Amino acid sequence: MISSAMKAAAALWVNDYLDLYNYAGRIGDTAWQQEIMDILKQKDAYVSEAVRTRKLEELWTTFDSINRKMLELYRELRETNDSWVTERLREQVMELKTERLTVSRKIKAEQA
């Protein structure tokens, strides 16, 4: 599914290439115009790749965020002497490990 932001980005991309196409026409560069037209004909492939790239960026951001949270929890574990707090922190770490594994699998699937 393509979000409205991605649709807007795709429309902007097309408009940019149409501007280039028109400029190439104004300067009489028909070879460049044809090259731009060939790119525009492959718009769906370019947009799909942009969507995939953006999704991967978001997944990696999530992965990094999980790692930062885990590091903070490990720091708290080292600093606490309370067994109840230790147990809660360990549970949180396990939840984050599960979440990180899920994100890792999504990253792997997107890169395949």
CA distance 18 to 66: 41
Task: Pick left, alpha or beta for residue 81 (phi over 0 → left; psi -120 to 50 → alpha; otherwise beta).
Answer: alpha
Q: Which DSSP string corresponds to 15-45?
A: HHHHHHHHHHHHTT-HHHHHHHHHHHHTHHH
Size of the chain in residues? 112
DSSP one-letter code for 77: H
Q: Coil, strand, or helix at residue 42?
A: coil
Q: What is the pTM of this model?
A: 0.71
Residue 49 and residue 40 in contact, taking contact as beta carbons nearer than 8 Å: no
- Tell the residue number behind the tokens 């949270």, with chain if given: 69
Over range 74-84, report the average pLDDT. 97
| Percent of the chain whose pLDDT exceeds 70 | 96
Nearby residues of 10 by Cβ (< 8 Å), 6 or more positions away = 2, 43, 47, 50
pLDDT tens figures, 18-66: 999 999 999 999 999 999 999 999 988 887 887 788 889 999 999 999 9
List the structure tokens of 65: 């965020």
CA 54 to chain centre: 3
